[in-house]
């Protein structure tokens, strides 16, 4: 098979695809059509059967409807299915040079018709005993532990309670947190987030202080807040520049010695404080200053890469911020 492509795809104008009621969630797709085309060549050994040509696989007038209630079972999202409907059919059309294409079309169409009829029978008579467990087994594949590539960090969690819904909103109360393979987080979740919507938006996302605090703790322990600032070809950090704010530098180094800064957070880890209207991050910061001592570099033991520790600044930092995201279909905007 070569030159495989989708020749046509179409979904009926049924609207909406997802319907919410006070008792169930419904997913319905009507008049779905998919046509896949490709070129084929068939050659037997010995070459008694030879054929080549084009093939069209068409799934036409497919209707799918699922009604069910999402629930939480042992930490996994599951579905109590009330209704499952599948109608439609498929057609194989081999357009080749020999009669082999006609035979192949008839054989494949018979197989598809038999399988589709059997599938409809299973759906009708074995919904609870076979279909529902199969769907729930697929839902069990939703990961509860998601690794973050390139680190030993991962997101861990899942549903925290039964998903509440009514005729306007379906809520998935997901509770994920950042964890490390090597660094346990000493803090615990204190309260559950309120499941509250006011109907003014289609999607809501709530983040607890615990989630952000645990992420800050792990990033601090992993050394993510460790930064070295070195001189470059375009910009030089020198002792005379630093002496403007730290006069003590002149007591140790010459006026034009190149320097570098090492900035990192220290224990206790940075923490987030959330208030109505704004938030802030607080923590402790060390700034170590190293400079090349010209007299030391001129000796046999030293060179231009010999940085000598000059001074360490210890400070508390406080960062206040307010982030909001507003999206409108006609005029999207982000405010920070």
- pLDDT, residue 316, reads 92
What pLDDT score was predicted for residue 335? 41
Which own/partner pairs from 189-194 qualify as long-range (CB within 8 Å, at least 24 positions apart)? 192/160, 192/161
Pick the CATH number of 145-335 from 1.25.40.10, 3.30.365.10, 3.40.50.150, 3.15.20.10: 3.15.20.10
Q: Is the pLDDT of residue 190 over 70?
A: no
83 or 239, which is more confident?
83
pLDDT in tens, 286-297: 999 888 765 554
- Sign of the CA dihedral with 253 first, then 255, 257, and 258 last: positive
More confident residue, 305 or 255: 255
- Is the confidence at residue 264, as pLDDT, over 90? yes
Residue ranges of domains in the chain = 2-139, 145-335
Q: Which of these ranges, 81-85, 121-125, 196-200, 245-249, has the smallest mean pLDDT?
A: 196-200
For residue 196, the 8-state DSSP code is: -
Compute the distance between CA of residue 121 and CA of residue 95 in angstroms, rounded to an integer. Answer: 32
Distance CA 101, CA 88 (A): 24
- Which residues 6+ apart lie within 8 Å of 75 measured at CB? 144, 158, 159
């Amino acid at each position: 098979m070569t030159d495989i492509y989708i020749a046509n795809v179409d979904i009926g104008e049924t609207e909406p695809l997802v319907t919410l009621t006070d008792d169930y969630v419904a997913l319905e797709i009507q008049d779905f059509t998919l046509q896949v085309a490709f070129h084929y060549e068939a050659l037997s050994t010995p070459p008694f059967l030879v054929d080549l040509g084009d093939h069209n696989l068409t799934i036409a007038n497919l209707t799918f409807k699922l009604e069910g209630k999402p629930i939480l079972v042992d930490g996994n999202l599951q579905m109590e299915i009330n209704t499952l409907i599948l109608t439609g059919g498929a057609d194989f059309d081999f357009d080749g040079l020999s009669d082999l294409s006609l035979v192949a079309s008839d054989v494949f169409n018979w197989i598809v018709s038999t399988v589709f009829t059997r599938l409809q029978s299973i759906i009708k008579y074995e919904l609870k005993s076979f279909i529902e467990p199969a769907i729930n087994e697929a839902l069990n594949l939703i990961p509860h532990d998601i690794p973050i590539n390139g680190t030993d960090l991962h997101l861990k969690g899942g549903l925290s309670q039964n998903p509440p819904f009514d005729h306007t909103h379906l809520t998935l109360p997901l509770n994920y947190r950042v964890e490390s393979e090597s660094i346990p987080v000493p803090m615990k979740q204190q309260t559950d987030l309120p499941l509250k919507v006011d109907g003014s938006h289609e999607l809501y996302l709530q983040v607890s202080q615990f989630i952000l605090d645990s992420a800050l703790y792990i990033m601090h322990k992993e050394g993510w807040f460790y930064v070295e600032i070195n001189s470059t070809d375009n910009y030089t950090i020198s002792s005379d520049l630093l002496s403007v704010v730290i006069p003590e530098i002149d007591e140790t180094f010459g006026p034009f010695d190149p320097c570098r800064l090492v900035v990192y957070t220290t224990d206790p880890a940075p923490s987030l404080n959330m208030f109505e209207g704004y938030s802030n991050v607080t923590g402790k910061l060390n700034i170590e200053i190293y400079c090349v001592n010209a007299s030391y570099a001129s000796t046999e033991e030293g060179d231009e890469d010999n940085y000598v520790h000059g001074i360490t600044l210890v400070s508390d930092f406080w960062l206040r911020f307010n982030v909001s995201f507003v999206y409108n279909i006609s005029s999207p905007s982000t405010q920070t």
